[in-house]
Amino acid sequence: MKRFQILTGLLLGAALIAPVAVSAADGDHDRRYYDRDGRDYHQWNDREDHAYRIYLGERHYEYREFRRVNEARRREYFLWRHEHPDTTLFKVEIH
């Protein structure tokens, strides 16, 4: 009986922790950031994250989660992003 209680407790604990672990892994996904200079919102998704990584590479900056970047760096990124639309960053293949 004691083993059953321990097993039940472990399963219940895992069921309660799983949703928290999954949402923590998402990070910035499905988040919007307001660009004050561009007067628009940037939806943070895989495509925006990829563009952000290209920006970091061009500037030789070390990766840091966008949500942890200071306001000056965000404004710099948004200015760069408006100069580099999706059509120039991502090549579309037509089959």
**Residues spanned by the domain of 56:** 28-89
Report how many domains make up the chain: 1
Q: Is residue 8 part of a domain?
A: no
Q: Is residue 9 part of a domain?
A: no
Mean pLDDT of the chain: 84
Q: Is residue 39 part of a domain?
A: yes
CA distance to 1, 15, 58, 68, 79, per residue, from 65 (Å): 47, 28, 17, 5, 18
Q: Is residue 12 part of a domain?
A: no
Mean pLDDT for the stretch of residues 54-64: 97
The answer to whether 34 and 41 have CB atoms below 8 angstroms apart is yes
pLDDT at 92: 66
User: Tens of pLDDT along 1-31?
Assistant: 777 777 677 666 667 776 655 455 556 678 9
